[in-house]
Amino acid sequence: MGLTSGLLIGLAGFFAAGAFAGTLLMWRRLATPRPGHVLARAGLLLAAQVSVMLVIFLSVNRSFGFFASWSDLFGTNNTTGQIVAPRHQNGGQPAPIQSPGTGELAARTPPGLPRTGQGSLLTAPGGTAGSRYGRLQPVRIDGVRSGISAAAYVYLPPQYFWPAEAGRTLPVIVVISGHVTTAGDPYSAASLALTAAQEITARRARPAIYVMLSASAAGRRDLGCLDVPGGPQAATFFAQDLPSAIESSYPASRVAAGWAVLGDAAGGYCALSLAMAHSDRFGVAAAPLAAYSTPPGSTGTRPGAPGWWMSGGSQQLRDESDLSWRLRNMPPPPVSLCFVRSAAAGPGSTQRAGAARAFLALAKPPTHVAEITLAAGPWPLAPVLDRLAAELAPGGRP
Amino acid sequence: MTLTSGPFLAVVSIVAAATMAATILLWPCVAGRKASHAAARTGLLIATQLTAILAVLGGLNAYFSFIVSWSDLVGTHASTTLQAAHGAAHGAVAAPIVVTQTQIPAAPRTPRPAASTGAHGTRSPAPAGTPNGGGAAANGEILTVQITGDRTGITVPRSYVYLPPQYFQPAYAHRLFPVVLVLTGYPSDPRSEITRLNLPGAVASEIAAGRVQPTIFVMMFSSVDMPRDTECTDIPSGPQAETFFAEDVPLAVEQSFRAATGAAGWAVMGDSTGGYCAAKLAMMHSDRFAAAVSLSGYYTAVQDFTTGSLYGRSAAYRSENDLFWRLGHLPPPPVSVLLTSSRVGEDNYLPTLRFLSMIRPPMHGYSLILPVGGHNFRTWKREIGQALQWMSQRLVPGGTAGPSPSPHQH
């Protein structure tokens, strides 16, 4: 009879009930001080106890499946097995690190690479121009974990090309923008690269690798860079796939203190939510001054509201996507949040700034908040890039 | 006095024995025909059985190290649920890992590894060069630690860190050691990894035999909110257990020890619930863990009275925590998993075969199936050596020899 068989438990239960009833039935007959009776009492009690313990042990064992057989229980089972490898693989080794142009970061030129007056300096192939101003590269990032594949631009600073700097890691600034390919926009890849090149060569900003991609890189439905339950896994793309791809292809920093994420109006929520929910990857975030209580495309906080699908039908998950709710209800993440204020006042800007400051006031250490004002003139983002580069841990020998 | 301590077990046993003795003595006093006597007889009999059951349960609990501390049983830890402000609000950032005790394990004896009772001496300045004696450089160290997660606000009051002997040897002074995070089942105290599985002893003898590279082991309870069974899940608006194990713990360990950074140096292993956790954490965070070992693990977490609501009433979020669903609906992550079961005696045998059949590259599924086994440490002890070797083959130490792409590759 098996250790876990129902019949055994039934038998034990039958004995337990019988011992219990028998003790009660015999009670009055054994109520004398005779030694034989005292012994009989002890025997009856023990029988009742042992049988009830047996029932409990057998039931617990059957329910949890601790010991499957008598040999298992008494330790006489010493069988061993062999590890069986899957049929389809090369010794189980992970894929080798791939360099640009061969794998994860394939240098395919997406259409619409912006042309700027000075862009030729940046896009010039080979040594001298690159070592002086850096280089802007179009790439494709294939997210192995999220299944999301996105076109992006990578700006490599001049230091990347200097033999003396070989082997040093560089901090990384990820830019999520609605205008990556909009010629002339400050958040376009070309303008950002030129701004960075100018600030780096003038030594106002530390060198950094810039990765620039569209806010809709992870799909047009989810613009909040969230992992939607049962839907697009944009957070996995931005917080796992992108850093792994960049780290395996460039001498990029491998710690959160060396990674920043910057968003424009379309990518601001992404930047902040990525840093707040994935502070192990991003130590610094910057976004336009605003309140960020809902992800882009989501307006309501109740079931059925636009964007409700992004929370997988859960009020609790919806709450977690509200960044002010996070600041109020979750431990403050160890990140620096920079809010970018436009120098020129537009309509409604005072009201927006008020809501934004209420949001900022919720942040407690170790979360740090700061405000940066855009510069007037042709390079409005220069102070933002300077500040982000200063906040980031400088590169070092890996 | 812990739930598994000798004094506690002694008290429970004495109460059981006293109740039995009292019943035998008082027996004649309640032998009348009155209804009150009949009731008293039944009451006495039930009392003897209950106290005896309590003693047996206490003994089983101590043997299996299910629940060691009272606070785990009744949940009186400082709240590990979401909290807006904690100590760091004053600017003082507490150390994420606090060592509360240091022990040097007994030297592994060959051919049999260290005593299965896990006898550890407290730290003593043993003379160097003594055969089988010696300090940390000879036998390694087991630290009892408290781990606090910056991001999740979760504090686990007691975990164990095994540092291999090489950690203390000058030749390895600049080595960043690979790390294995070990998670217990529910409810099973992390001490069971030492007392029942004898993991440090098994590791020490495998390292000494050259079959496993020197590795740090971090042994933790898979539940972060005892007595609740959190199943390594980021519970919506609740304890963020997944984030704790995937972000807080690795960063805390990397900050506190000479540990490898990056997925290539990290694996996660567990039994039962810890096995589900291991496979899930590796599949969801393949950027943190390169490999996972699931000893008698399952693939779909059950919600019951011990877990409470885990998924914020979202069917989609629940699906994402179902590892079968993940294999069927999401891209296979770049991780290797080793799954164990037994052809006879384990419920997860057929699910494990099904899970293995669904794995596609770049994920790789390995299996270790025993002819006969069970859901117990005796079975896992027969698998642990092979599992340790399998993990060791998939981990690379970090350190100065880390990959650094040349900037001149274009």
Range of the domain at A58: 6-70
Chain B interface test: which of A71, A79, A308, A329 (most B C-beta within 10 Å): A79
Distance CA A63, CA B376 (A): 13
- Assess if residue A396 is contained within a domain: no
Quick check: A86 and B365 CB within 8 A?
Answer: yes
Of B57, B88, B372, the CB nearest to A365: B88
- pLDDT score of B168: 94
Residues of A in contact with B407 (CB under 8 A): 160-162, 165-167, 251
Chain A interface test: which of B13, B15, B23, B24 (most A C-beta within 10 Å): B24
- Assess if residue A1 is contained within a domain: no
Pairing of strands B141-148, A209-214: unpaired
Q: Which residue has the higher pLDDT, B267 or B41?
A: B267
Residue B131 reports pLDDT greater than 80: no
Tokens of B55: 């003693």
Say if residue A38 is in the same domain as residue A136.
no
Which DSSP state fits A365?
A: T
Distance from CA of B355 to the nearest CA of A (A): 12
Say if residue A179 is in the same domain as residue A314.
yes
CATH classification at residue A170: 3.40.50.1820
pLDDT tens readout for residues B333-385: 999 999 999 998 888 999 999 999 999 999 999 999 999 888 888 899 999 99
- Assess if residue A367 is contained within a domain: yes
- pLDDT score of A61: 81
Q: What is the mean pLDDT of residues B284-288?
A: 96
Residue B266 reports pLDDT greater than 90: yes
pLDDT tens readout for residues B195-239: 889 999 999 999 999 999 999 999 999 999 888 899 999 999 899
Final residue in a domain of this structure, among A70, A92, A121? A70
Say if residue A32 is in the same domain as residue A131.
no
* Contact call for residues A289 and A263 (beta carbons, < 8 A): no
- Assess if residue A90 is contained within a domain: no
Q: Tokens 């192995």 correspond to what residue?
A: A144
Distance from CA of A387 to the nearest CA of B (A): 22
- pLDDT score of A352: 75
Distance CA B174, CA A104 (A): 32
Quick check: A81 and B369 CB within 8 A?
Answer: yes
Which element (helix H / strand E) includes A120?
helix A119-123
Say if residue A200 is in the same domain as residue A122.
yes
Q: Does B153 touch chain A (CB under 8 A)?
A: yes
> A68: burial class by Cβ within 10 Å (0-12, 13-18, 19+)?
buried
Split at pLDDT 50, 70, 90, the class of B133 is low
| pLDDT by 10s per residue, chain A, length 398 | 788 888 999 999 999 999 999 998 888 888 888 888 888 888 988 999 889 888 888 888 887 777 777 877 887 777 888 888 877 654 443 333 233 333 333 333 333 333 333 333 444 444 455 677 888 888 888 889 999 888 899 999 988 888 888 888 999 999 999 999 888 889 999 899 999 998 998 899 999 999 999 988 877 677 789 998 888 899 999 999 999 999 988 899 999 999 999 999 889 999 999 999 999 999 999 999 988 888 887 766 666 666 777 788 888 888 899 999 999 999 999 999 999 988 776 666 777 778 888 888 999 999 999 999 888 888 899 999 999 999 998 766 54
Average pLDDT, chain B: 84
Quick check: A320 and B345 CB within 8 A?
Answer: no
Distance CA B17, CA B54 (A): 12
Quick check: B404 and A251 CB within 8 A?
Answer: yes
What is the count of structural domains for chain A? Answer: 2
Final residue in a domain of this structure, among A27, A50, A70? A70
Say if residue A52 is in the same domain as residue A157.
no
Q: Does B262 touch chain A (CB under 8 A)?
A: yes
Tokens of B7: 């004094």
Say if residue A161 is in the same domain as residue A224.
yes
Q: Tokens 């313990």 correspond to what residue?
A: A53
Interface contacts A/B by beta carbons within 8 Å: 279
Chain B interface test: which of A83, A88, A135, A324 (most B C-beta within 10 Å): A83
- Assess if residue A99 is contained within a domain: no
- pLDDT score of A126: 45
Say if residue A260 is in the same domain as residue A176.
yes
pLDDT tens readout for residues B305-320: 888 889 988 999 999 9
Quick check: A331 and B344 CB within 8 A?
Answer: no
Residue B103 reports pLDDT greater than 80: yes
Phi, psi of A45 (to 5 degrees): -60, -45
Surface of B (178-217) touching A: CB under 8 A: none
- pLDDT score of B106: 74
Quick check: A332 and B290 CB within 8 A?
Answer: no
Residues of B in contact with A23 (CB under 8 A): 45
Say if residue A288 is in the same domain as residue A218.
yes
* Contact call for residues B51 and B15 (beta carbons, < 8 A): yes
Residues of A in contact with B329 (CB under 8 A): 230
- Assess if residue A344 is contained within a domain: yes
Say if residue A203 is in the same domain as residue A348.
yes
Quick check: A169 and B320 CB within 8 A?
Answer: no
Q: What is the mean pLDDT of residues B50-54?
A: 90
- Assess if residue A179 is contained within a domain: yes
- pLDDT score of B358: 95
Phi, psi of B365 (to 5 degrees): -110, 125
ipTM for the predicted complex comes to 0.84
Quick check: A48 and B45 CB within 8 A?
Answer: yes
Quick check: B317 and A314 CB within 8 A?
Answer: yes
3-state secondary structure of A313: coil
Surface of B (267-296) touching A: CB under 8 A: 285-287, 290
Say if residue A54 is in the same domain as residue A124.
no
Residues of B in contact with A365 (CB under 8 A): 88-91
Each residue of A174-186: b (16+ CB within 10 Å) or e?
Answer: bbbbbbbbbeebb
- pLDDT score of B84: 37
Final residue in a domain of this structure, among A25, A53, A70? A70
* Contact call for residues B306 and B261 (beta carbons, < 8 A): no
Q: Which residue has the higher pLDDT, B278 or B54?
A: B278
Chain B interface test: which of A28, A154, A227 (most B C-beta within 10 Å): A28
- pLDDT score of A87: 73
HEC sequence for chain B: CCCCCHHHHHHHHHHHHHHHHHHHHHHHHHCCCCHHHHHHHHHHHHHHHHHHHHHHHHHHHHHHCCCCCHHHHHCCCCCCCCCCCCHHHHCCCCCCEEEEEEEEECCCCCCCCCCCCCCEEECCCCCCCCCCCCCHHHHCEEEEEEEECCCCCCEEEEEEEEECHHHHCHHHCCEEECEEEEECCCCCCCCHHHHCCCHHHHHHHHHHCCCCCCCEEEEECCCCECCECCCCCECCCCCEHHHHHHHHHHHHHHHHCCECCCHHHEEEEEECHHHHHHHHHHHHCCCCCCEEEEECCCCCCCCCCCCCCCCCCCHHHHHHCCHHHHHHHCCCCCCEEEEEEEEECCCCHHHHHHHHHHCCCCCEEEEEEEEECCCCHHHHHHHHHHHHHHHHHHCCCEECCCCCCCCCCC
Alpha carbon of A281 to those of A130, A254, B251, B279: distances in Å? 28, 8, 11, 22
Say if residue A117 is in the same domain as residue A228.
yes
- Assess if residue A326 is contained within a domain: yes
Of B53, B83, B356, the CB nearest to A331: B83
- pLDDT score of A28: 84
Q: Does B364 touch chain A (CB under 8 A)?
A: yes
Distance CA B174, CA B163 (A): 15
* Contact call for residues B280 and B299 (beta carbons, < 8 A): no
Residue B269 reports pLDDT greater than 90: yes
* Contact call for residues B394 and B264 (beta carbons, < 8 A): no
- pLDDT score of B93: 52
Residues of A in contact with B15 (CB under 8 A): none
Residue of B157, B153, B156, B155 lying closest to B82 (CA atoms): B153
Residues of B in contact with A397 (CB under 8 A): 404
Quick check: B407 and A160 CB within 8 A?
Answer: yes
Residue B95 reports pLDDT greater than 90: no
Say if residue A192 is in the same domain as residue A256.
yes
